[in-house]
C-alpha cells in the first residue's frame, strides 16, 4: 500500500508549469562556469522534492507536471470549468478571517478571456473594489510605503482610496496602471 508518498506533490509540480512560463528570469549569474538564474534554486528544490522518495514521489510529481501542462494548453477547454458558486462561496467565507477585511462580492476576480498560448499572451484585467466614499484618508505610512516604491504621491493616495487602504491591492492597481 506504500506505493505512493503522501502529500501535495501533484499540486506543487503542477505549479511549476506556470512558474516556468510566466515568471521572468530577473538575474543570471555563473558559478564555476555554470550558468544559473534566480529561478534555478526553485528548480533544484523541486528536483530534490521529486527525487526525495524516488519511486514513491516521482509518479505524483510527473503527474502534477502533466496536469499543469494540460491546464496550460487548455486541453478539453478545462479553463472554462468553474467551481459551483456554493463551493466558491464556502471557501471564500473560510478565508475571510485571515484576510483581515470583508471584500465586496466580487473583488479581485480575473475577468476577460484566458490567455492564449499560441505565441502571444492575452492581458488579464482585474477588478478591484469600487471606491466608496470614505471620510478616512489613507494612512501616511501607507502612502510613504508606495512612494518609496517609486510611485508618485497623488497616485499612491488615489490607489489606496480605491483599494480601501489595502497596500497590496493598491500596489497591484499602480503596477497595472503602469503596464497599460
pLDDT value of position 32: 93
Nearest-5° Cα angle at 26, 24 to 30:
120
- State the alpha helices, DSSP H only, in the chain: 9-14, 16-22, 40-50, 55-72, 85-99, 140-148, 153-162, 167-179
Choose among 120, 164, 118: nearest CA to 138. Answer: 164
Q: Is 171 helix (H, G, I), strand (E, B) or coil?
A: helix
Mean pLDDT of the chain, nearest integer:
77
pLDDT tens for each residue of 33-78? 989 898 888 888 888 888 887 778 888 888 888 988 988 888 888 7
Assigned CATH topology for domain 105-179: Helicase, Ruva Protein; domain 3 (1.10.8)
pLDDT at 107: 44
What are the extents of the domains in the chain? 9-79, 105-179
Separation between Cα atoms, residue 96 and residue 88, nearest integer Å: 12
**The predicted structure's pLDDT at residue 96:** 54
Greater confidence (106 vs 93) lies with 93
Q: How far apart are CA 129 and CA 35, in angstroms?
A: 44
Residue 100 has pLDDT above 70, yes or no: no
Q: What is the pLDDT of residues 105-132, one digit of tens each?
A: 444 444 444 444 444 444 445 555 555 5
Backbone angles phi, psi at 30, to 5 degrees: -120, 140
- pLDDT-above-90 percentage for the chain: 5
The pLDDT of residue 58 is: 84
Amino acid at each position: 500500500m506504500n506505493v505512493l508518498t503522501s502529500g501535495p506533490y501533484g499540486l506543487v509540480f503542477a505549479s511549476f508549469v506556470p512558474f516556468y512560463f510566466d515568471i521572468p528570469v530577473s538575474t543570471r549569474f555563473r558559478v564555476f562556469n555554470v550558468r544559473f538564474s534566480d529561478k534555478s534554486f526553485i528548480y533544484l528544490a523541486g528536483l530534490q522534492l521529486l527525487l526525495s522518495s524516488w519511486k514513491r514521489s516521482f509518479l505524483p510529481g510527473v503527474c502534477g507536471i502533466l496536469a499543469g501542462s494540460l491546464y496550460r494548453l487548455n486541453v478539453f477547454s478545462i479553463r472554462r470549468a468553474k467551481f459551483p458558486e456554493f463551493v466558491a462561496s464556502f471557501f471564500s467565507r473560510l478565508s475571510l478571517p485571515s484576510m483581515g477585511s470583508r471584500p465586496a462580492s466580487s473583488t479581485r476576480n480575473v475577468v476577460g478571456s484566458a490567455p492564449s498560448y499560441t505565441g502571444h499572451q492575452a492581458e488579464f484585467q482585474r477588478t478591484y473594489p469600487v471606491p466608496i466614499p470614505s471620510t478616512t484618508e489613507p494612512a501616511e505610512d501607507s502612502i510613504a510605503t508606495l512612494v518609496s516604491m517609486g510611485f508618485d504621491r497623488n497616485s499612491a493616495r488615489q490607489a489606496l482610496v480605491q483599494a480601501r487602504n489595502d497596500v497590496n491591492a493598491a500596489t497591484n492597481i499602480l503596477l497595472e496602471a503602469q503596464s497599460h
